[in-house]
Homo-oligomer: A and B are copies of this chain.
Amino acid sequence: MNEIKVGLIGFGNIGAGVVRLLNDNAATIRQKIGTGIVLKKIADLDITSDRGVTVDPSLLTTDVNDIFNDPEISIVIELIGGYEPAKSFVLKAISAGKHVVTANKALLALHGDELYAAAARKGVEVQFEAAVGGGIPVLSAIKGNLAANRFNSVFGIMNGTCNYILTRMTQEGADFGEVLKSAQELGYAEPDPTFDIEGTDTAHKLAVLASLCFGTRIDFGAIHTEGITGISGIDISYAAEFGYRIKLLAIGKRTDDGQLELRVHPTMIPLHNPLADVNGVFNAIRLTGDFVGPVLFYGRGAGQNPTASAVVGDLIALSRSIRAGVQTRRAAPLGFLDEAVTTLPLKPMEEIVTSFMLRFTALDQPGVLAGIAGVLGKNGISIESMVQTARHNGGAAVPIVIMTHEAKEGAIRAALAEIDRFDFISEKSRFIRIEDNLE
């Protein structure tokens, strides 16, 4: 039987994992699809460094066109990441009639529509399980066995770096800066961690997930995205005092009025919520479908081997299609036919309703509480509970922490802006959103 010939663009950490997996588990893969999946060419600018895997040197090339121009190659794996030249390479692979497997969430979140349209025109597939949740097969599940459902929500912990940092801050009472430094030394955070800690990576993944769940195009720039750089040890300990843990959550919901709620921000979730116990570099993604109800997926959200598992899983699916003689299959990268994909409007952040933990730093003097409570009341925000730490010494600034009932974010922002104009407020007031009933 003819082997499936594959070209790999990008021989970095994940690429080396794919090479090792195809080597180590060649027999298993053959037992499942009846033929071998063979790497025919590997393109990278650096083809001399040792990647710790055995590879025939004749496969290596610095010219990516060697892959596009090879008529035997039916699937191209893109693992270089980033927007360019990844996007050009994917488009070239598609126009050469090759199926594409990619782990590139940034590319898909910003340019997915263009790539999917090109693939649909050419009748090839774009698969990208590794783009979300590392080895966790959540995208396949949404497009596959869960496809009978209309999804109401998708949310989860999708960035291992942030979750590692928040977990250590929680367990050690440490502050953000010192944990980040240690995480970088240990290899759990990049030398430039901006995309991770500012929430961008999580927002990329939310965009991909939501497009599949809701069959919609996503305007990536419109997703409200906050990272964890503003979270302090004091936030974490107050949250714990009220029975909550702080996690960087991606949240996607379809609202009753046909809007889409998409947001990434530090979120207080109750300690009894299973996500509160997702620690370290693990990821967890929870979906709610109208028939299946809630389903949660948990596993390693990054790393060489788990990501390689997802990439080769996509290769296996495509290989099965190729061997079954599927020629005319219409590309439906989101699981929906192209003409069924819509553009749901995003709900403005000001309209989002949650409860909040508010933290004020105020001079310890008479009238402070009355002032704060008055402004909150005027903005329709009702107080659920409050903690005011005992004064340390007369006149010094003290923290006041207030838990609110549900309120619109717009009202909270307006109230805090007004409160921050009081003379007795000595630091910018802060709020953290609370999700008590994530469904």
In the complex, A329 has a CB within 8 A of chain B? yes
Mark interface residues in A1-39 (1 if CB within 8 Å of B CB, else 0): 000000000000000010001001100110111100000
Give chain B residues whose Cβ lies under 8 Å from the Cβ of A274: 274, 277, 298
In the complex, A177 has a CB within 8 A of chain B? no
Give chain B residues whose Cβ lies under 8 Å from the Cβ of A148: 21, 25, 28-29, 308-309, 312-313, 315-316
On whether the beta carbons of A296 and B293 are closer than 8 Å, the reply is no
| Residue in B129, B144, B308, B329 whose beta carbon sits within 8 Å of that of A313 in the complex | B144
**Contacts of A217-244 to chain B: CB distance below 8 A:** none
On whether the beta carbons of A299 and B305 are closer than 8 Å, the reply is no
| Residue in B146, B326, B340 whose beta carbon sits within 8 Å of that of A325 in the complex | B326
Give chain B residues whose Cβ lies under 8 Å from the Cβ of A140: 140-141, 144-145
On whether the beta carbons of B324 and A328 are closer than 8 Å, the reply is yes
In the complex, A292 has a CB within 8 A of chain B? yes
Mark interface residues in A116-158 (1 if CB within 8 Å of B CB, else 0): 0000000000000100000111011100111111100000000
Give chain B residues whose Cβ lies under 8 Å from the Cβ of A324: 321, 324, 326, 328-329
In the complex, A327 has a CB within 8 A of chain B? yes
On whether the beta carbons of A144 and B317 are closer than 8 Å, the reply is yes
Give chain B residues whose Cβ lies under 8 Å from the Cβ of A315: 148
In the complex, A330 has a CB within 8 A of chain B? yes
Q: By the criterion of a CB under 8 Å from any partner CB, how many residues of chain A are at the interface?
A: 64
Complexed CA–CA distance, A274 and B148 (Å): 28
In the complex, A40 has a CB within 8 A of chain B? no
In the complex, A333 has a CB within 8 A of chain B? no
Give chain B residues whose Cβ lies under 8 Å from the Cβ of A309: 145-146, 148-149, 289, 291-292
Complexed CA–CA distance, A299 and B299 (Å): 15
Complexed CA–CA distance, A137 and B31 (Å): 22
In the assembled complex, how far is the CB of residue A245 from the closest CB belonging to chain B, in whole angstroms?
14
Mark interface residues in A282-308 (1 if CB within 8 Å of B CB, else 0): 000000011111111111100101101
In the complex, A53 has a CB within 8 A of chain B? no
- For A32, A150, A277, the residue with the greatest tally of chain B CB atoms inside 10 Å of its CB is A32
Give chain B residues whose Cβ lies under 8 Å from the Cβ of A141: 137, 140-141
In the complex, A215 has a CB within 8 A of chain B? yes
On whether the beta carbons of A337 and B34 are closer than 8 Å, the reply is yes
Mark interface residues in A334-357 (1 if CB within 8 Å of B CB, else 0): 011100100000000000000000
Which A residues form the contact surface with B (CB < 8 A)?
Answer: 17, 21, 24-25, 28-29, 31-34, 129, 135-137, 139-141, 144-150, 215, 274, 277, 289-300, 303, 305-306, 308-310, 312-317, 321, 324-330, 332, 335-337, 340
10 intermolecular pairs with C-beta atoms under 8 Å apart: A17-B291, A25-B291, A28-B148, A145-B309, A147-B313, A292-B309, A292-B310, A293-B306, A296-B297, A324-B326
